[in-house]
Amino acid sequence: MAGARAAFTARPVIDAQRVFVFSSGGFVSLSGTVDAENGRRLAQETVEKIPGVSGVLNEIIAIPPTRRTASRY
């Protein structure tokens, strides 16, 4: 959904390259990762404001940057 990508770009808390958006018939599914819980909520609230969206399934996982780095080793 192009509208979600554009909206995420305007929000520095949300890395649009780590959040995936799928839509069908007004319903949107979000997945991927963000750095904090507020980014997860902000992604959902941003998509809910897009005209034509009637429901959002938010499967985004909040993973703090220190946990992502630590899990690589």
CA angle 63-57-50, nearest 5°?
105
- Is the pTM higher than 0.75? The answer reads yes
Domain count along the chain:
1
pLDDT of 50: 92
As a whole number of angstroms, the distance between CA 66 and CA 25 comes to: 38
pLDDT of 47: 94
* CATH at 25: 3.30.300.130
The kind and range of the H/E element at 18 are: none
Per-residue pLDDT of the chain (73 residues; tens, 9 = 90+): 678 877 777 777 788 889 999 999 999 999 999 999 999 999 999 999 999 999 999 999 999 888 656 565 5
pLDDT of 7: 79
CB 28 within 8 A of CB 53: yes
Which range of residues forms the domain containing residue 27? 2-70
Q: How many helices (H) and strands (E) does the chain have?
A: 3, 3
